[in-house]
Amino acid sequence: MSHYVSVFLVAVRSTIYKITGVFLLMAAAEGVLFWMQLQRAGENKVVLLEELIQSSGIPLVSGGAFLLVCGILSLVGYEFSGSRVRYTIQRLSVREEAIVLLWGVNSMLALCMFWAAQLAVVLLLSKLYIDDMEPIFFNSQTLFLAFHRSSFLHSLLPLEETSRLLRNVALIFSLGITAACFAQKQRRGERGVAVALLAALTIVFFPADLGHLGSDLTIMVIALTTAAFSLYSIFRVGLYKE
Amino acid sequence: MLEIRNLSKSYIGKTALTQIDLTLAPGEIIGLFGENGAGKSTLMKCILGFLQYQGKITLDGEAITRKNIARLSFATSEHSFFPNLTTSAHKEFYEMHFPYFREKRYRGLMEFFNLPEHKPLKSFSTGQKNQFEVILALCQGADYILMDEPFAGNDIFNREDFYKVLSGILEPEETVLLSTHLLEEVEAFISRAVLIRHGQIAGDVFMTDLEDEGKTLVGYVKETYQYKADRVSRALSDLTDEE
C-alpha cells in the first residue's frame, strides 16, 4: 500500500505548490477586479451581483486559471529535456498503468479543489457585495437569484439541476484521466491532445444557463467517451520509442 | 549472477546488438567500453527490461520482472529522477519502494557532494544532477548497479574523487556495470573490461590479466579495435599535400 501512496505523493508534491499559487493569484486578481467594479458602481444605480461578477471579468480570470491548472496537472511525469522519468517508473513494483491512474486521481482532486476554490472566492465576493452595497439593493434572495440568473455562477453551483452537477463531475473525471494520459503518451513518443480538447470544451461550454439538459448530456457523453478512450490507451501495451 | 545469453536487439532498419553473451558475477566492477552507438546503452536498457529483445537475460536463474527488478539500479546521464521533486522527497520515495535502501550511504554521499536537500532537482547544475543520479543508484540497495556514462558533464576532480569514494564504499556482493568513454580514469577502479563494437562483444578481459601482460587498458582497447596509430599523421600529411 505504501508503494501506491508514495507514487501518489509524487504527483501531489509536483503540483500542490504550483496549484496553490494559481489559486492565490486567481483569488487576488478576481478580488481586485471585483473591488474596482464595485467602487465604480454608482451609489444610486442598482447593480446586480451577477452583472458585477460578469463585468469584472471573473469568468475570464477563472478560465485562465483553469487552463493553467490543467497545464500543471498534465505535466506530472512529463519528460522535459534532460529527464527520463520512465527509467524510474519502469523499475518500480507498481505497474505504470496504476501509476498513471493514481496521478489521474490527483488531477481529479486538484480540479475539485479548483472548483471549490473558485466557488469560495465567488461567495466571498458576494459577501463583499452585500457588505458594500446599500441594503436597498439586496435582499435575502439576492445570492440565490444571482446563482440562477448567471450562466457562470449557475454552472459553478448548479442548484436544483442535477444534470449540470453530473456534467461537472464527468468533466473533472475526464480531465483528470486525460491529464495523466498526456504525460504517459509523451513518454511513449505519442501525442496526447485529449486534455487540451477537453479543457477547450470546458472553457467554451462551462457557462450555461439553467435548463440546458441537452447540452449537459452532450458534454457528458463527449467527456466520458474521451475518458474511456484515454483509459483504453493507458492499459494498451505500448512500446517505449527509443 | 546476471546472465545474458544470445541477446539481440534491432530497431527499425538497424541492428543494435547481435548475439551478446555475458555473465556478470557478484562483486565485479565491470567497465563497458565502446564508441558512440556501439550498443552500450542499449545493452543496459535490455538488461533492465526497458526494451524488448531477443535472447535471454536472467538474474540468479530467474527472468527479470517486477518481482526482482529492485535488485538492479540504474544511473544515467539522461537522468531518471523526477525534476520537480527535492532530493529529500526522492529519498522518501526510494525508501518506500526499495526495502534495502542504504540510508547511511545516502547521508554520506549527500554530504560528500554537498547537495542541497530541499531544492527541486530541476534547479541543480548538470554536474549535481549526475551526482544525485549516481547517489540514488548506489543507495537503492541493489545487487547490480548499472551506470551509463554517469559523469558526463562533471569536472575531472569530481569524477576522480568519486571513483575513490566508490571503491571504498562498495560491499563485496555489489556488482557495478559502468559504461564510460573515460578509460584512464576508471582503469584503477574496474576489475574487468568489456569492449563492445557494432553491437557485439569485441573484448572481455580481467584487469589482473592485463596487468600480468603488462598492458594498459587503453593499449588493450586500441589493440582490440585495431587502432591505426599512424591514422592522424597520414590524414595530416594528406591534408598538407592538398594545400
Note whether B70 contacts A85, CB cutoff 8 Å.
no
Cell numbers linked to A78: 512529463
Question: What radius of gyration, in Å, describes the C-alpha atoms of chain B?
Answer: 19
Output A124-129 pairs: Cβ under 8 A, ≥24 positions apart: A124/A31, A125/A30, A125/A31, A125/A34, A125/A53, A125/A58, A126/A49, A128/A34, A128/A35, A128/A38, A129/A38, A129/A49, A129/A52
A19 grid coordinates: 496549484
pLDDT(B83) > 80: yes
- Quick one: average pLDDT of B153-166? 80
Q: Which domain holds residue B109?
A: 2-242
Contact A180, A127 (CB under 8 A): no
* Mean pLDDT to the nearest integer, B67-95: 94
CB contact under 8 A, B97 and A85: no
Interface touch A87/B122, C-beta < 8 Å: no
pLDDT tens-digit series, residues B185-230? 889 899 999 999 999 999 999 999 999 999 999 999 988 888 777 7
- Is pLDDT of B53 > 90? yes
**Closest residue of chain A to B98, computed from CA coordinates:** A92
d(CA B194, nearest CA chain A) in Å: 24
**Nearest Cα residue to B93 out of B50, B142, B146, B136:** B136
In this predicted structure, what is the pLDDT of residue B236? 78
pLDDT of the residue at A43 = 62
pLDDT in the model for residue A242 = 52
CA distance A197 to B86: 32
| pLDDT for B13 | 83
Q: Which residues contact B29 (CB under 8 A, 6 or more apart)?
A: B167, B170, B175, B176, B178, B189, B190, B191, B192
Residues of A in contact with B12 (CB under 8 A): none
Contact at CB, A90 and B82, closer than 8 angstroms:
no
**Confidence class for position A237, pLDDT limits 50, 70, 90:** low
Q: List CB contacts (< 8 A) between B96 and chain A.
A: 2-3, 5-6
Q: Give the model confidence (pLDDT) of A62-79 as tens digits.
A: 999 999 999 999 999 999
Residue B206, sorted as left (phi over 0), alpha (psi -120 to 50) or beta, turns out to be: beta
Q: Are A97 and A238 in contact (CB under 8 A)?
A: no
Least confident piece of the model among A227-241, B36-50, B183-197 = A227-241
Residue type, A227: A
**Which pLDDT score is estimated for B148?**
94
The confidence band for B233, taking pLDDT boundaries of 50, 70 and 90, is confident
Chain B hits for A14, Cβ within 8 Å: 82, 84-85
Whether A1 contacts chain B with CB within 8 A: no
| CA atoms of B67 and B47, how far apart (whole Å) | 15
The mean pLDDT of chain A is 91
Q: How far is A174 from chain B (nearest CA, A)?
A: 25
Question: CA A232 to CA A8: how far, in whole Å?
Answer: 21
Position A44 pLDDT exceeds 60: no
Residue of B nearest to A15 (CA): B84
- Which amino acid type is present at position A186? Q
Quickly state the pLDDT bin for B155 (edges 50, 70, 90).
confident
Query: Which CATH number belongs to the domain containing residue B209 in this structure?
Result: 3.40.50.300
Question: pTM for this structure?
Answer: 0.88
Closest alpha carbon within chain B to A87: B80
A99 close to A57: Cβ distance less than 8 angstroms = no
Contact yes or no for B48 and A240 at CB 8 A: no
Per residue in A1-43, pLDDT (tens digit) is 788 999 999 999 999 999 999 999 999 999 999 999 988 876 6
At A30 the pLDDT is 97
B37 close contact with A: CB closer than 8 A: no
Q: What distance in Å separates residue B67's CA from the closest CA in chain A? A: 7
pLDDT 10s digits, A154-210: 999 998 889 999 999 999 999 999 999 999 999 988 888 999 999 999 999 999 888
Residue A239 has pLDDT above 80, yes or no: no
Stretch among A97-106, B135-144, B231-240 having the lowest mean pLDDT: B231-240
* Residue B208 in grid coordinates: 589482473
- Interchain contact, A240 vs B126, CB within 8 Å: no
pLDDT above 70 as % of chain A: 96
In whole numbers, what is the pLDDT of chain B averaged over residues? 91
Write down the pLDDT at residue B151: 83
pLDDT tens string A1-10: 788 999 999 9
pLDDT tens readout for residues B91-106 = 999 999 999 999 999 9
Question: What's the number of domains chain B is made of?
Answer: 1
